[in-house]
């Protein structure tokens, strides 16, 4: 189950590459950039996406369906809170990746951005699927990360730790070439660091087994990608932002 990003900016749209155009899945040296998307596909298969709550999809009106509904997480639970918050967090990573894709011709960075778009859109769709299966709204009046007792003062469009501000996104849009590559990688490292921390908090506190498996996959993949992005910065004579 997948969800395409929404929004008015061109970076929100998925595009099929034109014939003869540069293919997005590229290699950086001997390192291939296909594995994050492949990981998301494996996670999806492992979850058995329809069986999000009780391991099966009960018939409407059956006693099994009633039992599954009563067992669904509450709207204020860690299960629902993580699904909503990580979906929002992922959406910004997708947005930033579309921006840099159009600001550089570097194959390594464009390939990495392509994998972030596909992997995190896939995961975002699964998170929204959990909420749909539970009959819960994708929106809430609760503050972001309230489910983990985290206090963060939202400012300038940054709703959670690691999220870029509107000012930072505007700067990314203003850059091109190596400058855009470096700034994107610096922003994305911070984004991944905070995202991995949130996913680990859910692994520790959550109760829904399929969602916990998805979260653990995020932790593992994002830590690996942080190291990859750090290496890419070093190749460009830069360091992660403090």
The answer to the question of residue 117 being in a domain is yes
Helix (H) or strand (E) segment spanning residue 123: helix 107-134
The answer to the question of residue 170 being in a domain is yes
Give the residue-averaged pLDDT of 71-92: 96
Q: Domain holding 190: CATH number?
A: 1.20.1260.10
Closest CA to 53 of 67, 41, 39: 67
What pLDDT is recorded for position 70? 52
Place of tokens 């990314």: 172
Assign 71 a pLDDT band (cuts: 50, 70, 90).
confident
The answer to the question of residue 98 being in a domain is yes
Q: How many domains are there within the chain? A: 1
Give the residue-averaged pLDDT of 195-203: 98
Place of tokens 């990580």: 86
The answer to the question of residue 60 being in a domain is no
The answer to the question of residue 5 being in a domain is no
Domain residues for 112? 77-143+155-242
The answer to the question of residue 174 being in a domain is yes
The answer to the question of residue 175 being in a domain is yes
- What CA–CA distance (Å, rounded) separates 53 from 67? 11
- What CA–CA distance (Å, rounded) separates 113 from 91? 13
- What CA–CA distance (Å, rounded) separates 56 from 59? 10
The answer to the question of residue 121 being in a domain is yes
CA distance to 5, 97, 121, 147, 199, per residue, from 14 (Å): 8, 12, 11, 32, 26
Give the residue-averaged pLDDT of 37-51: 43
Query: Which is higher by pLDDT, 27 or 143?
Result: 143
Q: Which pTM was predicted?
A: 0.74
pLDDT in tens, 11-22: 434 344 444 444
């Amino acid at each position: 189950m997948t969800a395409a990003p929404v929004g008015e900016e061109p970076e929100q749209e998925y595009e099929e590459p034109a014939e003869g155009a540069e293919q997005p899945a590229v290699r950086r040296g001997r390192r291939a950039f296909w594995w994050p998307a492949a990981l998301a596909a494996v996670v999806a298969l492992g979850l058995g996406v329809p069986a999000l709550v009780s391991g099966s999809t009960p018939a409407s009106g059956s006693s099994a369906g009633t039992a599954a509904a009563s067992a669904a997480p509450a709207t204020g639970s860690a299960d629902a809170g993580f699904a909503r918050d990580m979906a929002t967090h992922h959406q910004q990573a997708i947005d930033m990746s579309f921006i840099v894709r159009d600001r550089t011709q570097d194959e390594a960075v464009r390939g990495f951005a392509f994998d972030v778009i596909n992997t995190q859109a896939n995961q975002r769709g699964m998170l929204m699927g959990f909420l749909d299966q539970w009959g819960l709204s994708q929106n809430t009046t609760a503050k972001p990360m309230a489910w983990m007792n985290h206090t963060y003062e939202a400012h300038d469009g940054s709703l959670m730790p690691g999220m870029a501000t509107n000012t930072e996104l505007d700067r990314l849009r203003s850059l091109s070439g190596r400058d855009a590559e470096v700034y994107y990688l610096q922003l994305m490292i911070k984004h991944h660091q905070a995202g991995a921390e949130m996913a680990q908090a859910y692994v520790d506190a959550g109760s829904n087994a399929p969602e916990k498996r998805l979260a653990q996959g995020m932790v593992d993949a994002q830590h690996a990608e942080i190291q990859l992005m750090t290496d890419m910065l070093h190749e460009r004579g830069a360091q992660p932002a403090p």
